[in-house]
Structure 1
Amino acid sequence: MILVDLTIVTVATPTIIGELDASVNQVVWVSSAYMLAYAVPILITGRLGDRFGSKYLYLIGLTVFTLASLWCGLTSTIEMLIVARIVQGLGASMMTPQTLAIITRIFPASDRGKAMAVWGATAGVAMVVGPVLGGVLTDGLGWEWIFFINIPVGILGFVMAWRLVPALETHEHSFDWLGVALSGVGLFLLAFGIQEGHDKHWAGWIIAMIVGGVVVLGLFVLWQARNKREPLVPLTLFRDRNFSVSNVAITVMGGVGASMGYPIMLYAQAVRGDSPTEAALLMVPMAMMSILLARTVGGLTDRLHPRAIMGFGFAASFVGMLSLAIDLDPDTPIWALWISMVIIGVGNAFIWAPTAATATRNLPMQFAGAGSGVYNATRQVGSVIGSAAIAVIMASRLSALIPGASAQGEAGADKIPDPHVAALFSDAMADSLYLPVALFVVGFIAVLFYEAPKHAGFGATQGAPAATVSATD
């Protein structure tokens, strides 16, 4: 449900722009506010799950998320929708760390890859359900129903979690509230400055916000190093190289996930004239490959070197995204776009679940919540920055290629009638996709630094004991 709400809003973007009289930048804030509220508390909610029980934090978060979804659907202004999405993000931040922490605790390291494959396949399902359901609901009932749909799902999820999710042992923790404040202020200043920069013509106060955000985040890291009690982010976690590399990789994927949907959905609806449902179908081949390959990749994750698995994943994703950016023209046949999406989907299947499994294999059980919180927080930091950056890039490319044109007016139209303007709009969206292309390159370089896992069973099929492989890697 959390991941569906990231993708479902993207499809409804042009409709929300038109019905709430909003700008592209404001509608991007509908997702950015959600992701920022999701990212900031996620470090402390993972620790709260360790202290008071993952099951109970999950149930509280699910309740907040479901009620906030009702609020989102009842709003009539873009500003109130953004506020409701902030509350929804707070609910999501309570839920997500608990899912990964529970999997880490109840599955042994040697089998965790298979469990993470199921967890990762859920993301693939959300990538299918989100855009398609968003398109169908927006076309048939209105954009409000992309939020109302969460209510029955939330109620069913609450009943199932109450009955079926185990109540695991808890651990004593102190809470680093100064760390929470520093990380929250730093992320907000950085994200707000980046996203509003183009709209505010990079005024001095915007630059000051960005610089201030970097400084505050630097102070946050310094405080984490000096906090002798229990820091919000135990920096000792990063002594494990695979945990550190996985956090870089998932930050990249968070940025990709938050940035690629907007240009594609705006291109499909404003240039091709697709309905929201038709536009959403562009994403289906990518998501289907993630689902179909989940089981196979899960088995490989427990046996093969993560460098090989994720290296292939990032390389394939790069090829698919680059071909999509090159092919994004008004007359591009649908099958050509689908081929690119299939390649991206294959690559993503070799990234999402293997990265999560590799990140958490070596963590002590008492740090399961903290490690899960850090991992999910870095993903959300990537999402926040990716969302802010894509808003800037789209707005700047539209301004450069269509001088004097209103991004709000162009994107909110059913279809741009002027073929010349449509071609220029298409070029602007294609140029914007070079952001996720570049992010895949960063991810590929990062995963080259993985070392061989140390869990029991690794390397058995290769005829070498795990300890020997690790020592010689």
Structure 2
Amino acid sequence: MTNRQRWILVLAALAAFMTALDTLVVTTALSTIRVDLGASVEQLEWTVNAYNLSFAVLLMTAAALGDRFGRRRLFAAGIGLFVVASAACALAPSVGALIAARAVQGAGAAAVTTLALALVSTAFPPTKRGAALGIFFAVNGIAVAGGPLVGGALTQGLDWEWIFWLNVPIGIALIPLVLARIPESRGPDRHLDLAGLALVSAGVLGLVWGLVRANAAGWDSAEVLGTLLGGAALIAAFVAYELHARAPMLPMRFFRSRAFSAGNAAIFLTVGSLFCAVFFMAQFLQAGLGYGPLDAGLRLLPWTATLFFVAPLAGKLVDRFGERPFLVAGPLLQAAGMGWIALVADAGTGYSQMVPPLIVAGVGVSMSFPAAQNSVVGAVPPEAIGKAAGTNSTMRELGGVLGIALGVAAFAAAGSYASPGAFTDGFVAAMGVTTGLSVLAAACGLALPNRAALHEPAPVVS
């Protein structure tokens, strides 16, 4: 690793760590926020959904703006926006102000996340990119593992505002280092595809809004059907427009590459499975087995900490053996672990029975992330890596929203919060959803090309 590559990897990973940690620490503070700000359950839900909506909608926009105006510049601006919004969250006098600040926070996180991946992917050649991405996702693994612990400790030891104040010194320290140590890079396009940006942003907004509201408003409600169908129509219009655009923000020829298409589909389903599991696992430890928030976070470490240990090794092996073995075996291991948990879950289950399947599932998802990302960015020309990273980030976020929506629907159909036993019934159904999504992800992994053809860029069409 050169000194320049080392700085890019460290700074991008730390910035992405900050946004990932913030997503998870909020979940353990929701009960305290509800009491302090007098929030209703619906308002509490929107403290999470406002972040997710702006984050998902703006991922591809951030990638396009980075290609046009400079990835380093927009990356630093995203960190700055995230820091300002974090301070606004901590100072929010009401739940409405908190929701608004969370939406702005999501916009900053979108720029940070997608451009961090683009910066790391462009800094390393294909032969070393998998190892670099493995380290990148390992640092994110620390956020996944430590998020519930940090959130519980800060909320109990200080106050919920400190989960947001934590971001401020980290971001302030990162911005000057980013500007000094990361060289500027851009994509090949000199024109901003405003029509494409508008279509894809509105389309993703419709899809995410419909999925977020589906279980509360009803899957067959006019609001949900209208937004889902409208979002799908706008995405179709975006595809049609991009096919003929002079400078498309996402060239449709990329999807002719099996590595690009299958990699995106696999990570969409893998993250859907993971988010569904994350959403319910901590709740099961509390509502089903009776642990407190901090105790639940500690007991998730055998699962979440595997990303830190396994992802770097998996990234190196991906460079040597190719992505397909890891994008098949990884989701299958996650499916095995979650299916195992569904079989042993009971209101009287001992925690020790859950440790082996948690480790198996954690190893599986840790193998999947660097393989999928490497497959996608390796399938396009170097100058198009920003667009590929933006597409991959969007697919991950959409997969997460879909996974939670499907899991909640399965939970509501089979169980409830009325008692530990009733919760466990719903939890088992949700674990069935996460298992099925993982199996589908492995099927997509099988569609990847062999090692020799994997990193052939998508054909250029004149």
1:444 to 442, 445, 448: 442
Alpha-carbon distance in structure 2 between the residues aligned to 1:453 and 1:25 = 48
Closer/same/farther in 2, CA of residues 26 and 282 from structure 1, 3 Å limit: farther
Partner amino acid, structure 1, of 2:385 = A
- Percent identity reads 29
Deviation per CA, 1:261-318: give whole Å up to 9, x if none.
2222222233333222111112211222221123321221011132212211111100
Partner amino acid, structure 1, of 2:435 = V
Cα shift at 1:149 = 1.1
Deviation per CA, 1:312-361: give whole Å up to 9, x if none.
11111001111223333222111222222111111012101121112112
1:306 to 293, 315, 323: 323
Closer/same/farther in 2, CA of residues 326 and 7 from structure 1, 3 Å limit: farther
Alpha-carbon distance in structure 2 between the residues aligned to 1:329 and 1:24 = 27
The answer on whether the counterparts of 2:66 and 2:186 sit within 8 Å (CA) in structure 1 is no
Aligned partner of 1:425 in structure 2 is 423
Cα shift at 1:147 = 1.6
For the residue of structure 1 that corresponds to 2:396, the secondary structure is: helix
The answer on whether the counterparts of 1:139 and 1:275 sit within 8 Å (CA) in structure 2 is no
TM-score (norm 2): 0.88
**In the TM superposition, what are the counterparts of 1:182-193 in structure 2 within 5 Å?**
182-193=199-210
Aligned partner of 1:118 in structure 2 is 135
Alpha-carbon distance in structure 1 between the residues aligned to 2:410 and 2:161 = 28
**In the TM superposition, what are the counterparts of 1:66-465 in structure 2 within 5 Å?**
66-168=83-185, 171-201=188-218, 202-227=220-245, 229-394=246-411, 396-397=412-413, 401-402=415-416, 421-454=419-452
Closer/same/farther in 2, CA of residues 28 and 433 from structure 1, 3 Å limit: farther
Partner amino acid, structure 2, of 1:327 = V
Aligned pair count?
Answer: 438
> What are structure 2's unaligned runs of at least 5 residues?
1-17, 457-462
Alpha-carbon distance in structure 2 between the residues aligned to 1:160 and 1:312 = 38
Alpha-carbon distance in structure 1 between the residues aligned to 2:427 and 2:379 = 41
Cα shift at 1:239 = 1.9
Closer/same/farther in 2, CA of residues 185 and 111 from structure 1, 3 Å limit: same
Aligned partner of 1:5 in structure 2 is 22
The answer on whether the counterparts of 1:12 and 1:276 sit within 8 Å (CA) in structure 2 is no
Partner amino acid, structure 2, of 1:317 = Q
For the residue of structure 2 that corresponds to 1:332, the secondary structure is: coil
Alpha-carbon distance in structure 2 between the residues aligned to 1:232 and 1:170 = 10
Closer/same/farther in 2, CA of residues 194 and 113 from structure 1, 3 Å limit: closer
Greater shift, 22-31 or 361-370, is seen at 22-31
The answer on whether the counterparts of 2:187 and 2:384 sit within 8 Å (CA) in structure 1 is no
The answer on whether the counterparts of 1:135 and 1:276 sit within 8 Å (CA) in structure 2 is yes
Alpha-carbon distance in structure 1 between the residues aligned to 2:282 and 2:31 = 8
Greater shift, 253-262 or 174-183, is seen at 253-262
Closer/same/farther in 2, CA of residues 307 and 123 from structure 1, 3 Å limit: same
Partner amino acid, structure 2, of 1:378 = M
For the residue of structure 1 that corresponds to 2:320, the secondary structure is: coil
Aligned partner of 1:471 in structure 2 is none
For the residue of structure 2 that corresponds to 1:303, the secondary structure is: helix
The answer on whether the counterparts of 1:310 and 1:355 sit within 8 Å (CA) in structure 2 is yes
Partner amino acid, structure 1, of 2:106 = G
Cα shift at 1:19 = 4.5
Deviation per CA, 1:227-286: give whole Å up to 9, x if none.
2x1222211111221111111112123323432222222222333332221111122112
Partner amino acid, structure 2, of 1:204 = A
Alpha-carbon distance in structure 1 between the residues aligned to 2:263 and 2:69 = 27
1:56 to 61, 64, 73: 73
Cα shift at 1:449 = 0.5
Alpha-carbon distance in structure 2 between the residues aligned to 1:392 and 1:80 = 30
Alpha-carbon distance in structure 1 between the residues aligned to 2:210 and 2:422 = 27
Alpha-carbon distance in structure 2 between the residues aligned to 1:253 and 1:383 = 9
For the residue of structure 2 that corresponds to 1:293, the secondary structure is: helix
